[in-house]
Amino acid sequence: MVNNSFANESIRCSVTDCKFHHCDKNYCSLGTITVGTHETDPKECQCVDCESFKAKNEGLA
C-alpha cells in the first residue's frame, strides 16, 4: 500500500494519475524521485520524464 499522505514540498507535481501524487496537494509523496530522458539529445522540457511515475491502478488486478 502506498502512503501518499506525505507531501514533499521540494517536489511539486501535478500528475494526479500517478500513485505517488499527494491526494490533496500538488506535491509528490516520495522522498526522492528519478528524472531521466527518453531522447538521445534532449533540447526541451518535454524531453524529460519522471522515471518514478507509476500509474495509480498499476499492480491492481
Q: Is 20 in the site for ligand SF4 (CB under 6 A)?
A: yes
56 binds ligand SF4 (CB under 6 A): no
Which 31-50 positions form the footprint of ligand SF4 (CB under 6 A)?
A: 33, 50
CA-wise closest residue to 29 among 16, 20, 42: 20
By C-beta, is 34 or 39 nearer to ligand SF4? 34
18 binds ligand SF4 (CB under 6 A): yes
Spatial CB neighbours of 38, under 8 Å, sequence gap ≥ 6: 47, 49
Let me know: does 19 contact 56? Beta carbons within 8 Å: yes
